[in-house]
């Protein structure tokens, strides 16, 4: 049994090491961390605003760029470095998953454009998966429309040759670009993360006239559903390692 476990870890990837870049402490890998650790990966987590982004990245099997309240257009030095990290990762063929702000950084760094949306999407909603998406990042998700958790005000114009994987009524919600994937919404959130965000982003909630009760209504059930979808997306993404 012990030897079998070791063999499983050895064949995961070239290093079995994952880089996760946070932009604010409260927006973490969430349930994705549990999936990665359960599969035997080690994770290097850095907070980009306070820690140096690695210059040597060819030892990582995959890279996750997470969310945050800042905008790509804020011209912050660490966001510029994250964009270069994304470009370098794609050039090396390393799978990248950008979530919310991470997806916007991906779009911007690859020739797209990020801009303020006509309306903020905060809270629970639905997104439609495209036909291409059902054979890509959302493969094995039976439903064409899935419930998600959202928290963003910016949206993007996609870079040339990017492929749309998911949409809401307002915006493009997920896309594929070479070895990278951007997702505007959140499947990774845990119940604790949502409660933390409600505290951290109180002013934004008030300004957007969002009802806090709607954010926590049936939260346990909704987070459980998210976890199920997140596991499928995770498995699809992580299967790209070594390809």
Residue ranges of E strands in the chain: 17-22, 42-47, 62-65, 96-99, 113-129, 145-157, 163-167, 172-177, 180-183
Of the residues 82, 100, 121, 176, only one is catalytic, namely 100
Tell if the pTM clears 0.85, that is, is over it: yes
Domain boundaries, the chain: 2-238
Mark whether 188 is an active-site residue.
yes
For Cα atoms 58, 64, 66, give the angle at the middle one, nearest 5 degrees: 145
pLDDT at 14: 74
Mark whether 186 is an active-site residue.
yes
The CATH number for 2-238, chosen from 3.40.640.10, 3.40.50.880, 2.60.40.1120, 3.40.50.720, is: 3.40.50.880
Residue 20 pLDDT exceeds 90: yes
pLDDT band at 171 (very low <50, low <70, confident <90, very high): very high
pLDDT band at 6 (very low <50, low <70, confident <90, very high): very low
Residue 41 pLDDT exceeds 50: yes
Of the residues 82, 83, 121, 186, only one is catalytic, namely 186
Mark whether 100 is an active-site residue.
yes
Q: pLDDT (tens digit, 9 = 90+) per residue, 193-226?
A: 999 999 999 999 999 999 999 999 999 999 999 9
For Cα atoms 68, 59, 12, give the angle at the middle one, nearest 5 degrees: 95
């Amino acid at each position: 049994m012990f030897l079998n476990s070791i063999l499983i870890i050895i064949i995961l990837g070239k290093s079995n090491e994952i880089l996760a870049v946070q932009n604010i402490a409260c927006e973490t890998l969430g349930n994705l961390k549990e999936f990665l650790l359960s599969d035997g990966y080690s994770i290097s987590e850095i907070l980009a605003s306070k820690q140096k982004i690695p210059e040597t990245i060819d030892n990582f099997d995959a890279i996750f760029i997470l969310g945050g309240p800042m905008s790509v257009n804020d011209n912050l030095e660490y966001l510029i470095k994250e964009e270069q990290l994304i470009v370098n990762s794609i050039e090396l063929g390393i799978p990248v998953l950008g979530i919310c702000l991470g997806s916007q950084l991906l779009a911007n760094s690859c020739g797209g454009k990020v801009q303020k949306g006509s309306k903020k999407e905060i809270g629970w909603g639905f997104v439609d998966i495209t036909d291409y998406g059902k054979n890509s990042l959302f493969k094995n998700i039976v439903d064409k429309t899935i419930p998600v958790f959202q928290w963003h005000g910016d949206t993007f114009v996609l870079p040339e040759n990017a492929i749309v994987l998911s949409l809401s009524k307002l915006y493009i919600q997920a896309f594929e670009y070479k070895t990278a994937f951007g997702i505007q919404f959140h499947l990774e959130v845990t119940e604790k993360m949502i409660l933390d965000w409600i505290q951290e982003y109180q002013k934004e909630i008030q300004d957007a006239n969002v009802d806090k009760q709607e954010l926590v209504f049936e939260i346990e059930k909704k987070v459980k559903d998210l976890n199920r979808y997140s596991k499928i997306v995770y498995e699809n993404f992580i299967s790209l390692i070594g390809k």
